[in-house]
Amino acid sequence: GAVVSQHPSWVICKSGTSVKIECRSLDFQATTMFWYRQFPKQSLMLMATSNEGSKATYEQGVEKDKFLINHASLTLSTLTVTSAHPEDSSFYICSAAGNVGDRDPYEQYFGPGTRLTVT
C-alpha cells in the first residue's frame, strides 16, 4: 500500500506559539490530502480537504485562519496551528488520496498522526 508520513510524531509547544505539521506521501502523488483531528477517546473528525495547488476547504466550525493548510506539491501538505492554545491539544492525522496510476482515487492512506500538546 501507499506510505504516508507525518512529522513530527509529537510536539509540545507553549500557548501562543505556532506549530507546523508536515504530511508527505512517500511513494505516490497525492492530488488530495485530508486533515483530521482526534480528541482523546473520540472519533476522527475531518478538519479540511486540500487539493494540490488550490485553497483548502474547511469543515464547518474549523477556523481557517487558525489552522493554515498548504498543499504546495503532490507529495506535501502542511498544517500550521497558529497561536496555539491548550484546547488545540489533540492528535492530528493526515491522509492522502491520488488519481495517478493504479491508485483508487477515493482511497485514503493515513499518516501515523502527530500528537500536539499545548502547555
Q: Which residues contact 62 (CB under 8 A, 6 or more apart)?
A: 47, 48
- Identity of the residue, 63 or 107, whose beta carbon is nearer to another protein in the bound complex: 107
- Identity of the residue, 19 or 97, whose beta carbon is nearer to another protein in the bound complex: 97
Site string for another protein, 28-57 (x = CB under 8 A): ----x-x---x---xxxxx--x--------
Strand partners for 48 = 35, 58
**16 belongs to the binding site for another protein (CB under 8 A):** no
- Contact range with another protein by CB under 8 A, out of 17-25, 61-69, 73-81, 87-95: 87-95
**89 belongs to the binding site for another protein (CB under 8 A):** no
* Cis amide leading into 40 (omega within 30): no
Positions touching another protein (CB under 8 A) are 1, 32, 34, 38, 42-46, 49, 91, 93, 95, 106-108, 110, 112-113, 115
